[in-house]
Structure 1
Amino acid sequence: MKPSPNLLSPDNHTLVLIDFEGQMAFATKSISTNDLRINTAITAGASKIFNVPTIVTTVAEESFSGPVFPEIEEFYPQATSGYIDRTSMNTWEDEAAYKAIVATGKKKIVLAGLWTSVCIVGPALSALSEGYEVYVITDACGDVSTEAHERAVQRMVHEGVKPVTAVQYLLELQRDWARQETYVPVTNLMKKYGGAYGLGIQYAHTLLNHQ
C-alpha cells in the first residue's frame, strides 16, 4: 500500500523556477507563449497550494531580461518572495541561489524555466553530480527551437533526470481526491488554467450543484 519513493510529494522536494522573464520568452519557439504561460501558472500554483519550498531566480532582470511572468508574480510576488537575480547562466554556480536550494534540505529538486538547453541543463546536471534526484517539468520549459529543447531533454534524461509535465506535477501532489484541504484550490487552479480539463471540472461541478 505504500507509494513509490520516486513519486513527488509536497514535502519531499524543492521547486526552482528559473528565468521566466520576457526577454527569454520572446525568443522561445519550442512551445507557444500561451501554453508556456499556462503551464507556468499550473506549476507555480501547484507549489503554492501544497506549500512546496520554492525558489524563484532571474538573470539580469533590470539590465536585460526584464520582469518575471505575471503568472509567477501571481503566486510568488517579488515583494514577499525575494527573487534571486544572477549573472551566471547556471543557477547552481550562483552562490545565493545554491545556498537557498541546499538550505531547504530536500534531496529531490524540480526545475522549470527558460531556456531548456542552458538554464535548465546546467543546474540539472550539476545537482545530479551532487547526489540530488532531479525532475524537470518539460512543458514549463522552452528553448529557441524545438531541436534545442528536445536535445536538452534527451541529454538530461540520458544522465538520469526524470521528465514530468505541469498537470502531472499538480496531480502527483494531490494524489487523492479525498484530500479535501487542497481539493478546492486544485480544482480552482485547473478551472482557470487547465484548458479543456478545467472546463470539464467546471461542467461537472455545475451539474452536481444543480442536482
Structure 2
Amino acid sequence: MSKIMSKVKYFNIKDSVMLLIDHQVGTLGFCRNIPHKMIIQNTRALARFAKELNMPVLLTSSQEERAQGPLLDDLKKILPEAYEARVKRGGIANAWDDPAYKSAVQKLAGGKKDIIMAGLTNDVCIAYPAVSMCAEGYNVLVVQDAGGSPSQMADDTARRFWERAGARTITVNALACELGKDWSTPEGGKMIGIVMEEIIGHLDEMTKGIGVK
C-alpha cells in the first residue's frame, strides 16, 4: 500500500489550473445519479476556490442555443470575467479536440501541467478531455461530485476510463483538504470557509431524497 501511495501526485494552489466544462442548465438535466442541488453547490464551491485563491480558471459551453442551454447563472455571478471569456463550442463533444478550447487552455495554463477538471456530464464531457489531456502529459484531477451522468453505471464506467488513462478522482471536500493543507493558513482558512458556506451549510438540501438523514 505504501508503495502505491508514494506514486500519488498531490496538487497545490500555485501550480493548478481549473477547467469547468459544460455546467449548463440543460446538461444538468441529463444527470440522474446525483442530486442536482449537490452538483450546483459543489460547482459553486469550485468556482469560489478559483476566484478567492487566484487560480486560473476557464469556462466552456457547448451549443448554448440548443438543449444544453446556457451556463449556470451561479458561474456568471461568481466568475463574471471567466464567464464573458468562456469558449463557446459548436458541438465538439471532446472539448480538447476543439482547437479554440485547446489553445485557450494552453494560454491560460502558461506551462502549468496540473489540471483540476469538473463538468457535465462525467461520462462524456469530462471523460474524453480528461483522457486526452493525460495522453498529452497533463496531470488531471477530476472532481467527480461537481458533475454527474445519466446513470450510476455511466458515472462508474467513466471514472474507470479516466483512471486507467492516469487521471485521479476526487471530491470537492477532499480537494479543499488537498489544496488548503492547513486550515490555520490564509489559504486553508478561505477554503474551509467556502466548504462550510457552500456545502456543509446545504447538506439537508443536497442529500434530500437519497436516503440520508
Which TM-score applies when normalising by structure 2?
0.83
Residue 127 of structure 1 corresponds to 133
2:177 corresponds to 1:171: yes
2:98 corresponds to 1:94: yes
SS in 1 for 2:134: helix
C-alpha separation in 2, matches of 1:10 and 1:137: 15
What per-residue deviation string (whole Å, max 9, x for no partner) do you get for residues 48-77 of structure 1?
121111110000112332221133223212
Q: How does 1:1-211 map to 2 (within 5 A)?
A: 6-77=9-80, 81-86=84-89, 87-103=91-107, 104=109, 105-180=111-186, 183=189, 185-195=190-200
Higher-Rg member (1/2): 1
Question: Do 2:95 and 2:102's aligned partners in 1 also have CA atoms closer than 8 Å?
Answer: yes
1:98 deviation in Å?
Answer: 0.2
C-alpha separation in 2, matches of 1:46 and 1:79: 14
What per-residue deviation string (whole Å, max 9, x for no partner) do you get for residues 25-62 of structure 1?
11210111011111111111112121111110000112
SS in 1 for 2:118: strand
C-alpha separation in 2, matches of 1:22 and 1:107: 30
Question: Do 1:190 and 1:197's aligned partners in 2 also have CA atoms closer than 8 Å?
Answer: no
Question: Do 1:187 and 1:198's aligned partners in 2 also have CA atoms closer than 8 Å?
Answer: no
C-alpha separation in 2, matches of 1:151 and 1:76: 31
In structure 2, the gaps of 5 or more residues are 1-6, 205-213
C-alpha separation in 1, matches of 2:52 and 2:18: 13
| Deviates further, 29-38 or 67-76 | 67-76
In structure 1, the gaps of 5 or more residues are 200-211
SS in 1 for 2:54: coil
| Residues 59 and 96 (structure 1), Cα distance of their counterparts in 2 relative to 1, 3 Å cut | same
SS in 2 for 1:29: coil
Matched length: 196
What per-residue deviation string (whole Å, max 9, x for no partner) do you get for residues 73-111 of structure 1?
232125764111102111101111101111212111111
C-alpha separation in 1, matches of 2:101 and 2:130: 14
Question: Do 1:90 and 1:118's aligned partners in 2 also have CA atoms closer than 8 Å?
Answer: yes
Question: Do 1:50 and 1:173's aligned partners in 2 also have CA atoms closer than 8 Å?
Answer: no
Question: Do 1:28 and 1:145's aligned partners in 2 also have CA atoms closer than 8 Å?
Answer: yes
C-alpha separation in 2, matches of 1:71 and 1:118: 22
What per-residue deviation string (whole Å, max 9, x for no partner) do you get for residues 115-141 of structure 1?
111111111111111111111001112
SS in 2 for 1:62: coil
| Residues 132 and 80 (structure 1), Cα distance of their counterparts in 2 relative to 1, 3 Å cut | closer
C-alpha separation in 2, matches of 1:153 and 1:181: 29
Which TM-score applies when normalising by structure 1?
0.84
Alignment RMSD (CA, Å): 2.3
